[in-house]
Amino acid sequence: MGFFLGIKLGDQVKAYPISILNWHEAVNDRIDDYYYSISYCPLTGSGIVWDRSYGEDVNGFGVTGLLYNSNLILYDRLTNSHWSQMKMQSVRGDRAGEIALLYPLVEMTWEAWQAMFPGSSVLNTQTGYSRPYGQYPYDDYRENNDLLMVEMAHNDGRLPGKTRIHGIIHDDQAVAFLPQEFPDSIAICNSHLFGEPILIGGSGAMGCVISYYRTMEEDVVLEFKAVQEALPVIMTDNEGNLWNIFGEAIGGPRAGSCLRSTRCFNAYWFAWAAFYPHTEIKNFQELNR
């Protein structure tokens, strides 16, 4: 059934098929008191979850039809300000320069998501629109590294353009990992990036990469290791806590605690490099030695 974007807010989880997002690009939704928008750009392969609360009001996002570096430009329905998805900030209007508030998001195969969260809600094809959701709307665009829709601000040939990467941004620095370099089993690496303790984890079979800061309150830095065949648990730490894919402690002395997510998302390399040209490409296998 392809790949899904998944979120967890409070005790609720929901999955969004990329096959539907390819056609609609923005979905305004809510879970309990959490109001959010899922945006997905099929031309750059990037998905983000926006907090659409705005003071005491509830905002909504739509698609302008404009592109920058092949990436979609959204508008918010309260102020009509324009937002660059991959820059994660407003670029025009009353809110220009404002940084978006985001919720954590994971991308993975349907099989992996269902194994972790069998009772999950799922966005279905009963959208009120007639679309061929089983078809990709841009023919061979995903496989053709030479095919781009617009001129890019920066071209970087270190990787083929349509290579999928997991990118992390920290201040004015950025790194990229390749999901295909992860083993099929769950793998976790305790690393230092940008001078910060960060864990990088993933599974090639699940099609998933995650990244979280490892520092807890009182500057305690945790050390993690992978846990196999115990879903939704994917890792434990040196204190004996059990953690899920959303960086939540679901067992142990820190149960109820959450790791701080990095500012990250998956995308095609050509687009990521255009927005973040100084990105360092990291090899997970070498990092984990």
State the CATH number of the domain containing residue 264. 2.102.10
Q: What is the pTM of this model?
A: 0.93
Asked if the model's pLDDT at residue 284 lies above 90, the reply is: no
Asked if the model's pLDDT at residue 120 lies above 70, the reply is: yes
Would you say residue 41 lies in a domain?
Answer: yes
Cis peptide before 253 (omega within 30 of 0): no
- If you average pLDDT over residues 163-185, what whole number do you get? 93
The predicted pLDDT at position 149 comes to: 84
At which of 71, 90, 122 does a domain end?
A: 122
Give buried/exposed letters for 41-59 (b at 16+ CB in 10 A, else e): bbbbbbbbbbebebeeeeb
Based on the fold, state whether residues 116 and 192 are members of the same structural domain.
no
Based on the fold, state whether residues 273 and 192 are members of the same structural domain.
yes
Instruction: Output the average pLDDT for the chain.
Output: 93
Asked if the model's pLDDT at residue 289 lies above 60, the reply is: no
Based on the fold, state whether residues 10 and 112 are members of the same structural domain.
yes
Would you say residue 148 lies in a domain?
Answer: no
Which has the closest alpha carbon to 104: 9, 174, 172? 9
The predicted pLDDT at position 127 comes to: 84
Would you say residue 116 lies in a domain?
Answer: yes
Based on the fold, state whether residues 23 and 116 are members of the same structural domain.
yes
At which of 72, 95, 122 does a domain end?
A: 122
At which of 89, 122, 155 does a domain end?
A: 122
Would you say residue 20 lies in a domain?
Answer: yes
Based on the fold, state whether residues 13 and 110 are members of the same structural domain.
yes
Residues facing 215 on adjacent strands: 221
Helices (H), the chain: 18-24, 110-116, 269-275, 284-287
Rounded CA separation 225/251 (Å): 15
Would you say residue 216 lies in a domain?
Answer: yes
pLDDT digit string, tens, across residues 43-84: 999 999 999 988 888 989 999 999 999 999 999 999 999 999
Based on the fold, state whether residues 184 and 280 are members of the same structural domain.
yes
Rounded CA separation 257/11 (Å): 13
Would you say residue 280 lies in a domain?
Answer: yes
Based on the fold, state whether residues 170 and 90 are members of the same structural domain.
no
3-class DSSP assignment, residue 287: helix
Collect all residues with Cβ–Cβ distance below 8 Å to 9 and sequence separation of at least 6: 31, 32, 34, 36, 103
Based on the fold, state whether residues 63 and 114 are members of the same structural domain.
yes
pLDDT digit string, tens, across residues 187-204: 999 999 999 999 999 999
Question: Residue 288: which pLDDT band, with cuts at 50, 70 and 90?
Answer: low
Domain count, the chain: 2
**Structural domain that includes position 52:** 3-122
